[in-house]
Amino acid sequence: MTHAEAYAELVARSGELAVLQSCASVLGWDQQTYMPRGGAAFRGDQLALIAKLSHAEATHPRFGELLGELGGTFAEGTVEAANVRELKHGYDRATKLPSRLVEELARVTAAAHEAWVDARKGDSFATFRPHLETILALKREEAAAVRTAEHAHLYDALLDEYEPGASTADLTVLFAGLTAAVVPLVKAIGESSTRPDDTILTRDYPVERQKWFAESAAVAIGFDFNNGRLDIAAHPFCSTFGPGDCRLTTRYNPNFFNEAFFGVLHEAGHGLYEQNLPAEHFGTPCGGYCSLGVHESQSRFWENQVGRSRPFWQGFLPRMKQAFPGTLDDVSLDAFELAVNAVKPSLIRVEADEATYNLHIAVRFELELALITGDLQAAELPAAWNEKYRDYLGLTPPTDADGCLQDVHWSFGGIGYFPTYTLGNLLAAQLQRAMPDSEATIRSGDFSGLKSWLTANIHTHGRRYRAQELCTRATGGALSPVPFVEYLSAKFDRLYGLKI
């Protein structure tokens, strides 16, 4: 067999595996949107079977043979070399995992999601606790199985699934530095005499009009509803089943504008990444996203750098006044911009402002790290969560629903996921700095130039480059917190009149 034939077989096998995994994505999306509650147990069986079949295919000896034949064959930097490199990375990880563990995780997390929904609704951590304990035990087993010599910390092995190349040690330093820069900024804002009128955002916003307005904004930034849709879920997310089918979800609050609107902009940013990945490479790493940190940079860019900017609302506030007649007649651009950028320590991560958001992530990073090492037991989580919120944000959650039960991630076993949100925030600011005339482009109301730049510099590469290299190629330098901190300081100095 020639190298060309071996590579073609490898790509074909990878494509079949991707189709199988997309079936699990459909079932997962349905579980969080339209599935009747009575179907939870059987859905767990369905997902467990697909996980078992996917794992069997991903660890098939023929996969290993092909990767062995093709190692070192293709020139570094080519699509072929990247696909072989990333498929080998995935194969090496998958072959270390027992099929029993993969199947059990799928079954357990399907049940845990339903328990989390009930626990959050009923403010009962006790409902979720046994599921969390089981998930943590399984994730420790997974981490121990896939850990390599490069993983200095057990948590590194789980982080690798979402952000290859990142390390616990580096993240610990990064969060310490960010916290040191952000806490004084938040303090200075709190001491400013400027006070946003954020009651503007809690007026009457009928859900049907919110839906129309949010969808119109998603269309404006380039999301294609001929190849996507928007639905309702308890926790907003974006899920892609394959070329031509990208699903967004959000949740609506008739008395809080931000929840759905910025949620849709955020998920549409994820959707733009998915819709503009090279479809010809679907089923291979070069047809998939680079890392969750890079993915998050796309959603945060559209949500914050664009959606919370003054140039954006110069065009969209008049449209909003038309969408909600009489609701905002007394509201100026200055007042509205300040309202959507209000900085106020809060309990809920998905509703947090830009200045405090990473403090929410720091809490989660530290807690899940302690949960994996065993330094923190699941039963101790609510108290530990509340203590960290007092330390970082000066707040104590009145309920666990507003505390340690607010996020869906631990219910699906996403240990190592949370830090990618902060990495995405940093990259979003760094990408904006590298873009030509981004402010003028936003002001024009034609966002196609921004989308094209991101497609050329991020989307089209898929996983051809690891996140660190992709950042350097797109922005001219390694990922740094400096552009993000400077972006925050400049923005809030202007809005709040700070001198720090």
Catalogue the active-site residues.
267
Task: Provide, for the chain, the percentages of residues in helix, strand and coil under a 3-state DSSP scheme, each rounded to the nearest 5.
Answer: 70, 5, 30
104-123: buried (b, 16+ CB within 10 Å) or exposed (e) per residue?
bbbbbbbbbbbbbbebbeee
Q: How far apart are CA 6 and CA 391, in angstroms?
A: 56
Q: What is the DSSP string of 354-401?
A: HHHHHHHHHHHHHHHHHHHHTSS-GGGHHHHHHHHHHHHHS---SSST
Between helix 154-162 and helix 125-146 the angle, nearest 10°, is: 100
CA 28/CA 48 separation, integer angstroms: 12
Q: State the maximum Cα–Cα separation within the chain, in Å, rounded to a whole number.
A: 74
Sort residue 27 into left (φ over 0), alpha (ψ -120 to 50) or beta: alpha
CA distance between the termini of the chain: 66
DSSP string, 244-300: TEEEEEE---TT-HHHHHHHHHHHHHHHHHHHTS-GGGTTSGGGS-S-HHHHHHHHH
What is the H or E stretch that residue 436 is in?
none
Residue with tokens 């059990």: 104
Which two structure tokens, joined as six digits, stand for 211? 């839906």
231 DSSP 8-state letter = E
